[in-house]
Structure 1
């Protein structure tokens, strides 16, 4: 008997749920797993570019060193740039900063931050 695994991209959630989930994860690292799915779903499916960018900047500047959300925020900024064709100055500076931090110390920010380049 074969077991088949399937993959599906997370869906975009309401902005209220996104804010609540991300704020909780920024206060309590045990909520980072749920927040990761929210970040990916938002990057791939939310049509409000300003909201999306704002929350990646929030996560990328407020998450604790070593949090997997840092590298994921950098990667999701790459998806955001691809989808909307641009990044604002603050988001671009953050993406570049996260990539530098990855190269300096991969235990600070994981390699996904470099993937967005």
Structure 2
């Protein structure tokens, strides 16, 4: 018998831990699973929008093609738009770009970027 799976949102961590974890994953893909948890926890719980956006942009522009962090970054930008009601022009352009890449080639950027961009459109009411 399988134990029931339980989902829990990761917590926000200190900015130093976030920076160290994400930089490590951008240098070596073996660290991407830890970075994914940190990125989601930051997007859902960190109170500094500029910090959240900065790291979404860093990950979304520096992660290797095909990295699961790319689609996740798009999703996290959707969370950020929902939480704060706005995105910087740079973050908005990245969310749109990641969604376009996901639509064109899901092996490059996974479909979570499309879900995130749907959230961006819903919560920013620009479309």
TM-score by shorter chain over 0.5:
yes
Q: Who is 1:38 aligned against?
A: 38
Q: Does 1:72 align with 2:72?
A: yes
Counterparts in 2 of 1:17-96, with a 5 A limit? Answer: 17-96=17-96
Q: Who is 1:5 aligned against?
A: 5
Under a length normalisation based on structure 2, what TM-score does the superposition of the two structures give?
0.89
- SS of the residue corresponding to residue 92 of structure 2 reads helix
Q: Over aligned residues, Cα RMSD in angstroms?
A: 1.1
Under a length normalisation based on structure 1, what TM-score does the superposition of the two structures give?
0.97
In structure 2, how many angstroms separate the alpha carbons of the residues matched to 1:32 and 1:106? 18
5+ residue gaps, structure 1, are none
In structure 1, how many angstroms separate the alpha carbons of the residues matched to 2:30 and 2:2? 34
In structure 1, how many angstroms separate the alpha carbons of the residues matched to 2:28 and 2:104? 26
In structure 2, how many angstroms separate the alpha carbons of the residues matched to 1:107 and 1:55? 23
How many residue pairs align between the two structures?
A: 117
Q: Give how far 1:2 is off.
A: 7.1
In structure 1, how many angstroms separate the alpha carbons of the residues matched to 2:2 and 2:51? 42
Q: Give how far 1:5 is off.
A: 2.7
Q: Who is 2:115 aligned against?
A: 115
**CA 1:3–1:49: 2 relative to 1, 3 Å:** same
- SS of the residue corresponding to residue 64 of structure 2 reads coil
In structure 2, how many angstroms separate the alpha carbons of the residues matched to 1:23 and 1:2? 36
Q: Does 1:97 align with 2:106?
A: no
